[in-house]
Amino acid sequence: EESGKRYFIGKSKIDLQIKESNDWFDIYATVYFGEFEFPFIILRDYILNNKKEFELPNGEIAIIPESWFAQYQNLFSFAEGTSQLRLKKYHIGIVKEYADSELAQLSMDRKLNNLLQFEEMEEIPMPKNFKGELRPYQKAGYDWFYFLRKWNFGGCLADDMGLGKTVQTISFLQRVKYDMLKSSERKAKFLLVAPTSLLYNWVYECTQFSPDLSTVIHSGAKRAKSPAELEKYDVVITTYGLIRNDESLFTQLHYDVLVLDESQNIKNHTAKTTQSIAKLNAACKIALTGTPIENSIRDLWSQMNVLNKGLLGTLKQFETRYAKPIEKEGDEVKAKELRKIIKPFLLRRTKEEVAKELPRLTEKIIYCDMTQEQAEYYETIKSEYRNNILDLVDVKGFEKSKFSILQGLSKLRQLANHPSLIDEQYTAKSGKHDILLEKIASAISDGHKLLVFSQFVRYLEIIEKDLQRLGLSYYKLTGATSKENRAKRVKEFQAQLNPAVFLISLKAGGTGLNLTSADYVFIVDPWWNPASEAQARDRTHRIGQKKSVFSYKFISRDTIEEKISLLQRKKQGFSKNIIVSENNVLANLDMTEIHYLLS
C-alpha cells in the first residue's frame, strides 16, 4: 500500500512447443498472466537479468515465478531471433531436457532423437575396403561419426588413450569415400591435422587398415603451394603449425571431413593456430583427444566452438554461466546442465568400461627420503623462494606474479628430483635418484622392459649417464627427437626381446606412442595434471598389451611433490563430473594454496 503498486495475484503459466525444422528447432511459446497473454519472448530480458517484476497492461505488477528463472534461462541464453525464438539443431540437449521434464511439447525426428540415446544409434555397415575388425565399442564410435556427418554436426571422440581412436576414424573416412563413390558424387576430400610427431603414424595406420585411402603429408620445403596439388589425394595430413602458416592455401578448399587429432592443441581460443583452424571449411568436423580438458573447462569451450560454433555461447557467456560457477564454486547444478548440452557431441569411453580384457594395471607410489644434504639444500631454497614470492605479490599483486610463482614452484620440483638440475656444482647425492636407479636395475635384472617419464629433459640426461655407466640398454625420446627417429626408436624398442629402458619426456611422449612391449612404467616427477600421468601409463596399458602393467610414481617426502599430490586429489572433480577428465591444479591456484605449497 505504501508503494502505491498493485500486484497481480492470479494464475500464471507458459505454453511451450518446440518443432524441428531443417536447421533449427522453432520455439512457439506463450505466457499467460490471468486474462493477459503475450509471446514468451517478451520476458527474455527479465529472465536473463533476474528482473522479477513485470508490468501488465492494466497497470498491475506480475511477479515472475522464481522457478521460471532456473527453467528458462538456458533457453533465452542460446535462442536466436527477435520475434520468433529458435535454437540451432546442435542445441538438441537443451531441447530434450525441456521435453523430458514435461515443460514443453516436442516434435522431433526419431533418428535425431537417437543422438541422445547412444545405445540406439543406427547400425551402419562397414566399408568393404576396410582391412580390419572393430571391437563393439569401436563400431559404436564409427556409427556415431556417421550420424554426426549425416546431421552436419561436429563431435569430439574423447576415449581413453589406447582404445583405438585412430582406427575408428580411418574406418569412418573409408565409409564416407565409399558412399560418395557409390552415389556418383565428387571425390571425397579429407583433411587430417595432427602434431608433427604423429604424421607418419597416421600414414602407417591408413596403409594398414585402409590402403584404398590415398594419403599425402603436407610438410617440408617442397610441400604443395596450390589447391590442385592437394586435391589429388583422399587424405591430406598436416600439422597445426602448417595450417597456421599456410592458412591462405587451406581456406581455399572445402573438405568433407576435418579431423583434429590431439585437439587439445586448439584449447587456447586466442592462439593464431586455433583461429586458423576455425576458418577451415568442412561439412563435418571431428576432434580426437584423450584429454579434452587440460587446464580448465575453457579448453572445452575453445574446442567445441570450432566443432559447433555457438554451441556454448560466447566465451563471456560461458565464463559467467558455467566456468566460474563450476570451477570456483563447485556448482553441481551448472556442471550437470553443461554436461547435458555437450553430451550428444562428446563421446568418452574408459578402459574400465569397454576394454575389460586388458590385463591388470597396478599403480603404486614410492616415497623417497631425501639425503641430508639434499634436504638442507631444499629447505634453504624454499625459504628464499617463499620470501621472494610473498614480497613480489605484495608489490605486483597475485595475477602479475603468477609466472614468477610457477618458476619458483618448478625449481622446487627439480630439487626434489636432483639438486644438480638447478646447481651444476652440487656433488652430493639425491635420495630419489638413488632409489630410481635401484628400481630400474632391479626391473631389468628381472627381465622387464620399462618406460621412464619425466617432465624435465635435463633429468633424463642425468639418468642417461647413469644407465651408460651401469651398461644398461636404453632408448631416449624428447622434443628434440626428429619424427623419423621417433618412429625408428619406437619400432626398435618394440622389437627388442631383451630388457631395456625407454627414457621419455612427458610432453613429447604422452601421446601417439604404442609401447606395449613394456610392462613397467616409472613416473619420476608428479605432474600437475593427473590426466597427463594417465596418458603416460597408456603408452603401454592399451589394446595389444598381454602382460600385467605396473606403474610406479616416485615422490620425495616432505617436498612440494607430496603437496601437489594432495592438491590433485582435492581439486580434481569438476571436469570429471562433466567429461570424466581431470583438472589442472595450475589453472586455479590461489594465495592460500601458494602458502600451502611453500610451507
Average pLDDT, the chain: 85
Task: Answer whether 513's CB lies under 8 Å from 325's CB.
Answer: no
Nearest-angstrom CA–CA distance, 326 and 333: 9
Q: How many Cβ atoms sit within 10 Å of the Cβ of residue 155?
A: 25
Q: Which residues contact 185 (CB under 8 A, 6 or more apart)?
A: none
If you count them, how many residues does the chain have?
599
Give the list of residues 6+ apart from residue 408 with CB closer than 8 angstroms, or none.
385, 388, 389, 598
Q: What's the number of CA atoms in the CB half-sphere (13 Å) around residue 324?
A: 7
Side-chain-side CA neighbours of 412 within 13 Å: the count stands at 27
The residues, ordered by sequence, that sit 6+ positions from 376 with a Cβ below 8 Å of its Cβ are: none
CA-based radius of gyration for the chain: 28
Grid cell 527453467 is found at: 71
Number of CB atoms found within 10 A of residue 495's CB: 8
Residue located via cell numbers 560466447: 314
Closest CA to 202 of 144, 494, 193: 193
What is the 3-class SS of 403-416, one letter each residue? HHHHHHHHHHHHHH
Residue 240 and residue 265 in contact, taking contact as beta carbons nearer than 8 Å: yes
C-alpha cell of residue 58: 492494466
Are the CB atoms for 161 and 110 separated by under 8 Å? no
Show the DSSP H helices in 308-456 as ranges: 315-318, 324-329, 332-342, 351-354, 372-396, 398-417, 431-445
Identity (one letter) of the amino acid at 403? F
Is the confidence at residue 583, as pLDDT, over 80? no
Cβ distance 525 to 532 under 8 Å? no
- 95-146 pLDDT tens trace: 777 766 666 666 655 555 555 555 557 789 999 889 989 988 899 999 999 9
218, 237 in Cβ contact below 8 A? yes
| Residue 523, strand partner residues | 453, 553
Residues linked to residue 284 through DSSP beta bridges, in sequence order? 257
182 versus 502: the higher-pLDDT residue is 502
Q: How many CB atoms lie within 10 A of CB 425?
A: 6
CA torsion sign for 391, 393, 397, 402 is positive
Q: Rounded CA gap, 528 and 507, in Å? A: 13
Angular region, 330: left φ>0, alpha ψ -120 to 50, beta rest: left
DSSP of 427-440: -S--HHHHHHHHHH
- pLDDT tens-place string over residues 210-261: 999 999 999 988 899 999 999 999 999 999 999 999 999 999 999 999 999 9
**80-89, 198-207, 477-486, 590-599 — which is least confidently predicted?**
590-599
pLDDT at residue 34 tops 60: yes
How many Cα atoms occupy the beta-carbon half-sphere of 331 within 13 Å?
16
| Residue range 330-356: mean pLDDT, rounded | 83
Q: Is 80 exceeded by the pLDDT of residue 566?
A: no
According to DSSP, the β-strands at 520-523 and 215-217 are unpaired
270-281 pLDDT tens trace: 999 999 999 999
Sole residue written with cell 576458418: 279
